[in-house]
Amino acid sequence: MVNKKYWNYRVSLFDIVGNNPLNEADKKNEIGLNMENIVVGWEEWVTLPELGLPALKAKTDTGARTSALHAFSIQPFGSEKKPFVRFGIHPVPDNPDIEVFCSARVVDRREVTSSNGQKELRYVIKTPIIIGKRKWDIEITLTNRGNMAYRMLLGRTALEEIAVQPTQSFIQGQLSYRLYDKIARQKPIKRPLRIAVLTREPNNFSTRRLVEEAEKRNHVIELIDTKRCYLNIQSHNPEVHYDGKPLPVFDVVIPRIGASLTFYGMAVVRQFEAMGTFCLNSAASIGASRDKLAAHQILARHRIPMPTTAFANSPKDTNSLLSLVGGAPTVLKLLQSTQGRGVVLAETKKAGEAVISAFQGLDAHFIAQEFVKEAAGSDVRCFVVGKKVVGAMMRTADAEDFRSNLHAGGKAKRVALSKEEKAIAIRSANVLGLTVAGVDLIRTETGSKVLEVNSSPGLEGLEKTSRKNVAEKIIEYIENNVSSTVRQSRKTR
Ligand code: ADP
């Protein structure tokens, strides 16, 4: 018999705990979930709160010793001392579009003989279960045995102190799969994430800081050499391979793609996107920011202030180009320039013509820009994460130079940003689609303007100067934005 009163209780329970029912196991204890004696039928609705599974239909199977979950993509990660396993579940049997990814500490590996007599070595995890008013820890093995009608089997050890009434079902009340619609809108479950950093520089400051902060917060972070990834491009099962094997499925990829590897790096990031992995900056946003000319055009279209900038191709237009940006002195920038290399100040019209002629002779594309003299060799780097500026510094050029890049000998110091500057930085990252960005502003007589937006900004100068923990902010952002629920239609965003 279904206990109606209790069903109401279960529904209101999820309402009471509000934002994130699944992370609020403690609150549930406060409101009376504990070691109550219960009787279960041959099938029951269960909640696995720490795995982010609010509702699963389980079948009691007293013929089996340990409980089992039918999962897919079961992949171990972490270290020998601290092993984890990541796996996916389709909690709703007839809706494979809803996938929930879970991770848990591995407590054992065990050989299990399944009902059809097959022996299988399975990962064992330990996690709380809630049935009706009772909550207790159980061991669960993970198995991938095709499409079973029940995603979970409740074995003898989980039911040691619980009476089973095999002729009845759902004695402990009904839950609903509609709860999965709700969790997609709620804050993600705090769980150990499997993070990959795509980088060619495993030992540089930025990489080390990301590893340090991720590990401090109990995540497992792996460094992947972007150039060594190769791609298996197929519609049904896209994969990234590395050293002869497919890479596991990561929860998150942090791309740190250097300018020289933009084309290949974007392809790798795109592939991870196709696999449904959350990429901190998308391939498209990296591409948009790397193409300086396209980035300027996008920023301009969104009315983001920039120094007057012009682009031309034919030598016949050199004069007009220079006058468009206000005549000499003029800044000329090669489109491929990074770290200030390929950025030239032409003090006179003659010098401008000579540089342009040299660039054109080499078939190199460039932009011309008004020279902001009043900046006196300084610019301001704003580090954006999500919708916030999490740190800033002012860089000032060496006395002999007008370029403030630290690589070109510039010096960094702390700086306070105005409200407008913060808004410009956030909007610039936003319109290019970047979650993490270094936005360079130049302070002019008519307000701060954007010089460029960098999709893999370094942490070293910024963290040391601003004394802000930028790496931690990045990991926090990831924690708050990696959902454990995926719908097929959203996968290929
Ligand atoms: P890069 O991508 O190579 O760093 P930038 O456009 O950022 O190229 O230019 C490098 C540096 O040159 C900037 O950090 C700034 O100090 C200086 N600079 C660039 N454009 C101007 C400009 N229009 N007026 C004055 N200084 C500039």
Residue 69 in any domain: the answer is: yes
CA of residue 249 relative to chain centroid, distance: 13
Question: Do 365 and 426 have their domain in common?
Answer: no
Residue 7, pLDDT > 50, answer: no
Question: Do 394 and 360 have their domain in common?
Answer: no
pLDDT tens digits, 391-441: 999 999 988 888 888 877 889 999 999 999 999 999 999 999 999 999 999
pLDDT of residue 400: 81
Residue 297 in any domain: the answer is: no
Question: Do 81 and 223 have their domain in common?
Answer: no
pLDDT of residue 350: 95
| Span from the CA of 340 to the centroid of ligand 1 (angstroms) | 6
Task: Report the candidate in 232, 226, 240, 236 with the shortest Cα–Cα distance to residue 277.
Answer: 240
Averaged confidence pLDDT in the chain: 87
Q: Which CATH number fits the domain that encloses residue 448?
A: 3.30.470.20
Question: Do 344 and 395 have their domain in common?
Answer: no
Q: What is the mean pLDDT of residues 26-40?
A: 63
Residue in 296, 382, 403, 407 to alter for ligand 1 test, most ligand atoms within 8 A of Cβ? 403
- Residue that terminates a domain, selected from 326, 352, 371: 371
Backbone angles phi and psi of 135, in degrees to 5: -130, 130
Q: Which residue's alpha carbon is at the smallest distance from atom 2 of ligand 1?
A: 338
pLDDT tens digits, 202-249: 999 999 999 999 999 999 999 999 999 989 887 777 889 998 888 988
Does residue 338 or residue 349 have the better pLDDT? 349
Residue 41 in any domain: the answer is: yes
Residue 489 in any domain: the answer is: no
Least confident of 140-144, 315-319, 351-355, 450-454: 315-319
Number of alpha helices (DSSP H) and beta strands (DSSP E) in the chain: 13, 28
pLDDT of residue 316: 84
Count of domains forming the chain:
4
Question: Do 441 and 312 have their domain in common?
Answer: no
With a pLDDT cut of 90, the percent of the chain lying above it is 64
Residue 85 tokens, joined? 């396993």
Q: What is the mean pLDDT of residues 473-479?
A: 96
Q: Which CATH number fits the domain that encloses residue 347?
A: 3.30.1490.20
Question: How many CB atoms sit inside 10 A of residue 171's CB?
Answer: 21
| Span from the CA of 404 to the centroid of ligand 1 (angstroms) | 7
Cβ–Cβ < 8 Å for 400, 333: no
Residue 51 tokens, joined? 């795995």
- Residue that terminates a domain, selected from 371, 390, 421: 371
Question: Do 64 and 175 have their domain in common?
Answer: yes
Residue 3, pLDDT > 50, answer: no
pLDDT of residue 114: 74
Question: Do 212 and 328 have their domain in common?
Answer: no
Does residue 185 or residue 105 have the better pLDDT? 105
Residue 302 in any domain: the answer is: no
Residue 187, pLDDT > 70, answer: no
pLDDT tens digits, 432-443: 999 999 999 999
Q: Which of 67-81, 98-112, 175-189, 193-207 has the highest mean pLDDT?
A: 193-207
Residue 480, pLDDT > 60, answer: yes
Question: Do 405 and 434 have their domain in common?
Answer: yes
The side-by-side arrangement of strands in the sheet containing 330-334 is 309-310, 366-370, 330-334, 343-346
Q: Which CATH number fits the domain that encloses residue 262?
A: 3.40.50.20
Residue 290 in any domain: the answer is: no
Residue 379, pLDDT > 80, answer: yes
Residue 486 in any domain: the answer is: no
pLDDT of residue 32: 53
> Which residue has tokens 């960005």?
437
Q: Which of 79-83, 119-123, 304-308 has the highest mean pLDDT?
A: 304-308
Residue 485 in any domain: the answer is: no
pLDDT tens digits, 253-277: 999 999 889 999 999 999 999 888 9
- Residue that terminates a domain, selected from 153, 185, 217: 185
Task: Report the candidate in 412, 332, 331 with the shortest Cα–Cα distance to residue 372.
Answer: 331
| Span from the CA of 343 to the centroid of ligand 1 (angstroms) | 7
Peptide bond before residue 329 is cis, with ω within 30 degrees of 0: yes
The span from the CA of 212 to the CA of 219, in Å, is 10
Question: Do 124 and 204 have their domain in common?
Answer: no
Q: Which CATH number fits the domain that encloses residue 50?
A: 2.40.70.10
Question: Do 383 and 320 have their domain in common?
Answer: no
Ligand 1: list residues with CB < 6 Å.
Answer: 307, 331, 333, 337-340, 343, 369-372, 375, 379, 402-405, 440, 442, 451-452
Cβ–Cβ < 8 Å for 342, 380: no
With a pLDDT cut of 70, the percent of the chain lying above it is 89
Question: Do 334 and 453 have their domain in common?
Answer: no
The span from the CA of 264 to the CA of 266, in Å, is 5
| Span from the CA of 378 to the centroid of ligand 1 (angstroms) | 9
pLDDT of residue 183: 67
Residue in 451, 454, 455, 456 to alter for ligand 1 test, most ligand atoms within 8 A of Cβ? 451
Question: Do 10 and 106 have their domain in common?
Answer: yes
What is the extent of the structural domain holding 263?
195-280
Q: What is the mean pLDDT of residues 379-390?
A: 97
